[in-house]
Amino acid sequence: MITAKAFSNGLSRRTVCSGICALLGGCIIAPQGYLSGGQQGIDPYASIYGPVADGPYDIPGLDLDLATNRDLLRQEVAFPSPYRPGTIVVKIAERRLYLMQRGGRALRYAVGVGREEALNFRGSAVIGRKAEWPRWVPTADMVRRMPNYAAYVSGMPGGLENPLGARALYLYVGGKDSYFRIHGTIEPTTIGTAVSSGCIRLFNQDIIDLYNRVPVGTPVVVL
Could you list the active site residues? 183, 199
Instruction: Give the separation between CA 118 and CA 138, rounded to whole angstroms.
Output: 18
- Give the ranges where 43-199 is alpha helix by DSSP (H): 45-48, 66-69, 140-145
> What does DSSP say about strands 200-201 and 176-183: parallel, antiparallel, or unpaired?
parallel
Q: Is the CB of residue 21 less than 8 Å from the CB of residue 7? A: no
Beta partners for residue 57, in sequence order = 54
**Among 97, 115, 79, which residue's Cα sits nearest to residue 182?**
97
Measure CA of the first residue to CA of the last residue in the chain; give whole Å.
28
* C-alpha distances out from residue 20 to 28, 45, 107, 114, Å: 9, 9, 15, 29
